């Protein structure tokens, strides 16, 4: 059910944004202002290979590098990073990379601040109750918005799921250094998947039960930026202007999350992402159109507004027709930027009953604008499998 109008609500934004080409050059100063002398730099081999980690390290004196982050980071990597942090006497964190590196850095911060293992802090069990150590998040992709979200997503291989940690400003980065120059070398597939993830955050947070005017504003701006700049960033990865606007879209999409969750597309992609290791953004994009098609009748006006944001001429159309035209535009964008099919992402149709069940159990099902039963998820998955066939 939609949130009551007479309930007092909050907007939490604990992160200072430093953005623009060359923002990485402010890393040393940002850490100094936070009183960090010996940071743990959390990153991944791809960022190291691109020479970005080296550019960060050149500014810093005493830095311990934890470069073991892999896509879809798991419990083991977080707990190992926290051990290294303690053993080396670190006093702050730098999360340098895509959502995986930034989420790992946040999660290391939680374990360092509160002890135990990151699995103890799955949303709904032990609450995150202490502020993480000072964290500077430096995104190298434009998608997850993890540099400002109040969440981290961690994979549990035993349960074959991803779980959420956070939902509180205590886990938010202290500073986000958003430097579009770091994104210039990203290949088209990564640009497309991450850009569509940013769009999915905006669309889901604009339509979920938790939306409020402040998140609406940033979500709509993110949708329009993706509309105008994602194709260009995919076509020409060296287009700094496109990179800059997509970086902003990602951060705005992350801001739309707040302390709340998204909706059915993320319930599906986060649960399915624990089954087959595939890019989160691509998987979310592949289910997003079918989810919007399913949800539109529950709130045609909001989905019609999204259609406008995506560039659809909605004048004269009834709200539901406009909303469905928006879904078409979304599907076209998804295909144009080359998002893989469900099969290409590693899934097969005989997995649909299982995928539908775990999506239903994912906490982000609550808050979706239309009630979703397991059988509804099966239908949405069948539609997702039919999309993108060339």
Binding site for Fe ion (CB under 5 A): 197
CB of 358 to Fe ion, least distance (A): 17
Query: Which residue has the closest beta carbon to Fe ion?
Result: 197
The residue among 193 and 242 lying less far from Fe ion, judged by its C-beta, is: 193
**Which C-beta is closer to Fe ion: that of 40 or that of 225?**
225
Rank residues 202 and 324 by Cβ distance to Fe ion and give the closer one.
202
Cα separation, 330 vs 335, whole angstroms? 9
Give the span between the Cα atoms of 61 and 153, in whole angstroms.
30
Where residue 118 falls (left for φ over 0; alpha for ψ -120 to 50; beta otherwise) is alpha
Nearer to Fe ion, 112 or 252 (CB): 252
The minimum distance between CB 193 and Fe ion, in angstroms, equals: 10
Contact 71, 115 (CB under 8 A): no
Strand ranges in the chain using DSSP code E only, listed in sequence order: 16-19, 39-42, 64-66, 92-97, 135-139, 151-156, 161-166, 175-178
Task: Give the shortest CB-261-to-Fe ion separation in angstroms.
Answer: 11
Smallest gap from residue 172 Cβ to Fe ion (A): 17
Q: Residue 72, SS3?
A: coil
* Comparison of 197 and 362: residue with beta carbon closer to Fe ion: 197
Question: In angstroms, what is the minimal distance from the CB of 2 to Fe ion?
Answer: 23
Q: How far apart are CA 177 and CA 96, in angstroms?
A: 10
In whole angstroms, how close is the CB of 273 to Fe ion at the nearest point? 10
Comparing CB distances to Fe ion, the nearer of 15 and 164 is 164
Instruction: Kindly tell me which of 90 and 262 has the beta carbon lying closer to Fe ion.
Output: 262
Judged by beta carbon, residue 284 or residue 314, the one nearer Fe ion is 284
DSSP assignment of 97-150:
ESHHHHHHHHHHHHHHHH-S-GGGGSTTSSPP-SPPSPEEEEESSSSS-TTT-S
Cβ-contact 198, 253 below 8 angstroms? yes
Minimum distance from residue 282 beta carbon to Fe ion (Å): 11
Q: What's the rounded Cα separation, in Å, for the pair 100 and 283?
A: 15
Integer distance in angstroms from the first to the last C-alpha of the chain? 39
Taking CA 225 as the corner, what is the angle to CA 223 and CA 230, rounded to the nearest 5 degrees?
100
β-bridge partners, 165? 152
Least Å distance between CB 223 and Fe ion? 15
């Amino acid at each position: 059910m939609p949130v009551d109008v007479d309930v007092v609500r909050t907007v939490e934004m604990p992160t200072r944004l430093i953005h623009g080409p060359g923002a990485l050059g402010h890393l040393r100063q940002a850490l100094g202002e936070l009183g960090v002398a010996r940071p743990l730099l959390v990153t991944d081999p791809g960022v190291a290979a691109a020479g970005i980690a080296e550019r960060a390290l050149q500014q810093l004196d005493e830095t311990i590098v934890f470069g073991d982050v892999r896509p879809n980071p798991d419990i083991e990597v977080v707990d190992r990073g926290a051990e290294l942090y303690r053993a080396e006497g670190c006093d702050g964190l730098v999360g340098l990379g895509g959502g995986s590196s930034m989420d790992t850095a946040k999660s290391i911060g939680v374990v360092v601040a509160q002890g135990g293992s990151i699995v103890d802090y799955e949303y709904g069990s032990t609450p995150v109750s202490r502020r993480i150590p000072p964290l500077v998040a430096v995104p190298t992709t434009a998608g997850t918005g993890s540099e400002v979200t109040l969440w981290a997503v961690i994979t549990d291989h035993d349960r074959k799921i991803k779980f959420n940690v956070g939902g509180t400003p205590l886990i938010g980065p202290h500073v986000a250094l958003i430097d579009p120059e770091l994104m210039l070398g990203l290949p088209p597939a990564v640009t497309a998947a991450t850009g569509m993830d940013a769009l999915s955050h905006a669309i889901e947070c604009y339509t979920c039960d938790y939306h409020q005017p402040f998140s609406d504003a940033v979500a709509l701006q993110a949708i329009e930026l993706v509309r105008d700049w994602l194709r260009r960033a995919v076509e020409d990865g060296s287009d700094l202007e496109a990179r800059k606007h997509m970086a902003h879209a990602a951060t705005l999409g992350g801001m739309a999350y707040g302390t709340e969750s998204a909706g059915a597309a993320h319930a599906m992609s986060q649960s399915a992402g624990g089954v087959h290791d595939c890019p989160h953004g691509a998987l979310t994009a592949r289910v997003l159109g079918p989810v919007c098609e399913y949800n539109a009748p529950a709130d045609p006006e909001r989905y019609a507004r999204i259609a406008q944001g995506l560039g659809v001429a909605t004048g004269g159309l009834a709200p539901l027709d406009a909303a469905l035209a928006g879904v078409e535009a979304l599907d076209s964008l998804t295909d144009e930027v080359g998002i893989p099919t469900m099969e290409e992402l590693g899934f097969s149709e005989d997995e649909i009953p299982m995928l539908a069940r775990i999506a239903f159990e994912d906490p982000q099902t609550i808050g979706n604008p239309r009630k979703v039963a397991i059988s509804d998820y099966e239908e949405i998955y069948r539609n997702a499998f039919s999309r993108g066939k060339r």
